[in-house]
Amino acid sequence: MEVNHILNEIPKLTSFKWYGKVTQVVGLLIEARGPQASIGKLCYISTEKKPSKKIMAEVVGFKDGKVLLMPFDTLQDIAPGSLVESTRNPLRINVGTDLIGKVVDGIGRPLQGMDSGKGSIPYPTDNAPPNPMERPRISSPLNLGIRAVDSLFTVGKGQRMGIFAGSGVGKSTMMAMIAKNSDADVNVIALIGERGREVKEFIERDLGEEGLKKTIVVVATSDQPALMRIKGAMTATAIAEYFRDLGMNVTLMMDSVTRVAMAQREIGLAVGEPPTTKGYTPSVFAILPRLLERSGTNKFGSITAFYTVLVDGDDLSEPVADAVRGILDGHLVLDRKLANKGQFPAVNVLKSVSRVMKDIVAKDHIQAADKIRNLISIYEESEDLITIGAYKNGSNKDVDEAIRLQPQIISFLKQGNEEEVSFQESIDQLKKTVGKV
Ligand SMILES: Nc1ncnc2c1ncn2[C@@H]1O[C@H](COP(=O)(O)OP(=O)(O)O)[C@@H](O)[C@H]1O
Ligand SMILES: [Mg+2]
């Protein structure tokens, strides 16, 4: 009786509930007996060498009565029997207006030795998207300062766009131009899964001091654990949400959501999920909508978001691209063929679309944009004939016009990375380029 009574009490003891011990480490995964923590809870693992050095880890699953954890850091110094302590809370980051102009890691800690600043509050990273019924409709354009996009694929405040591109076709340059030229109150840029050198180049060369002024850069490089890369995407989104709730118009740029998907695949495979399309696990396709639906409008402000997706060549049917395209309100395709010709920004006009544009701009603007698309399409259809000189001028009125306007259209679409244009200038130049419609 007495013994049974004691045994019944044991699970209620806090030390039993909140602490556990490492039993095994397999690959990226730590197995522990205890603590009694649910999925997503943050734990600290004390290391063998220095009890003061604790490794942050998150509960990612359970198996045969054991708790499965993933570290935010390397597994170095974790030993059998290492103490696991549950914080009873999910990860929280420190956010505040002090973050503006700073570069932070995947969990919001400022790099370059800057402190996280006064006035910051703890903020969860994994938040629910706004209630769809309470989301205001997208009603006004956001000036991005990129002529080809503002005029032909006008993006509304709170719209979510994909940027589909391979490497070296101008994603980073475009994000930096948006950060510098757009009318947003604040920019949040997440660099996920890039190499350290690329990050440094982006911040110092593309963004520069001027671009960083109203920007927060969240960095989780390719050498960091998968969990840290996922958190980078969550943290950047959470920071954008914080500023949206202050009533601001925020732009969120995530480069790349493909690398976020790959990080989730790594975690999924480690915990034993089955691989499906292209080795991606089901949780990848569960996490994408949950992450991407968090941007957009809410009753306070807006997050206009750009998510880059790595695509090889013209293959837009790659599973991540496919999933992302279904969730977002449009996409820009950056074309390597155009980049190779030196046409920057390398926006493929015929393959890109903004699904919100027709609701937020004037009719004559839409007509001019349709006209330019039509001219480009006619030119492309006859391009082979034109280049070999087999097209005889005068055979077709429309083709004649497309050939005549081609040089103006190209120079209208081109924009140097230092060149600034206002929204109105872009539209005026569009109308001038296509003439009377
Ligand atoms: N608007 C632009 N004007 C001139 N050159 C550009 C422009 N955008 C991109 N480039 C050129 O393309 C290169 C690769 O661009 P980057 O933005 O780094 O591509 P990605 O991020 O897609 O790998 C740049 O180093 C630059 O030379
Ligand atoms: Mg880049």
Q: Which pLDDT value is given to residue 313?
A: 67
Encode pLDDT of 50-62 as tens digits.
Answer: 667 789 999 999 9
CA-nearest residue, atom 4 of ligand 1: 416
CA-nearest residue, atom 24 of ligand 1: 170
Choose the residue to mutate in 149, 172, 173 for probing ligand 1, maximizing ligand atoms within 8 Å of C-beta.
173
Q: Which pLDDT value is given to residue 312?
A: 77
In sequence order, the β-bridge partners of residue 302 are 249, 297
Q: Is the CB of 145 under 6 A from ligand 1?
A: no
Q: Which pLDDT value is given to residue 317?
A: 80
Q: Which pLDDT value is given to residue 93?
A: 93
Q: What is the dihedral of CA 145, 151, 155, 160, to 10 degrees?
A: -100
Distance CA 337, CA 339 (A): 5
Choose the residue to mutate in 344, 347, 413 for probing ligand 1, maximizing ligand atoms within 8 Å of C-beta.
344
Asked if 92 and 235 count as a contact pair (C-beta separation under 8 A), the reply is: no
Q: Which pLDDT value is given to residue 12?
A: 64
Measured from the Cα of 166, ligand 1's closest atom is 22
Q: Which pLDDT value is given to residue 27?
A: 84
Q: How many angstroms is it from 136 CA to the middle of ligand 1?
A: 35
Encode pLDDT of 318-366 as tens digits.
Answer: 899 999 999 999 999 999 999 999 999 999 999 999 999 999 999 999 9
Measured from the Cα of 198, ligand 1's closest atom is 18
Provide the strand spans (E) within 301-375.
302-310, 330-333, 353-354
Q: Which pLDDT value is given to residue 267?
A: 92
Q: Which pLDDT value is given to residue 11?
A: 61
Q: Which pLDDT value is given to residue 299?
A: 94
Residues 6+ apart with CB under 8 A from 161: 153, 155, 304, 305, 306, 307, 328, 329, 330, 331, 332, 354
Q: How many angstroms is it from 191 CA to the middle of ligand 1?
A: 16
User: Which stretches of the chain score pLDDT less than 70?
Assistant: 1, 10-16, 50-51, 113-119, 313-314, 436-437
User: Which of 250, 273, 139, 276 lies closest to 188, judged by CA?
Assistant: 250
Task: Give percent above pLDDT 70 in the chain.
Answer: 94
* pTM as predicted: 0.92
Q: Which pLDDT value is given to residue 4?
A: 78
Q: How many angstroms is it from 171 CA to the middle of ligand 2?
A: 5
Q: Is the CB of 167 under 6 A from ligand 1?
A: yes
In sequence order, the β-bridge partners of residue 21 are 33, 83
Encode pLDDT of 113-170 as tens digits.
Answer: 656 556 688 999 999 999 988 899 999 999 999 999 999 999 999 999 999 999 889 9
Asked if 68 and 31 count as a contact pair (C-beta separation under 8 A), the reply is: yes
Q: How many CB atoms lie within 10 A of CB 432?
A: 11
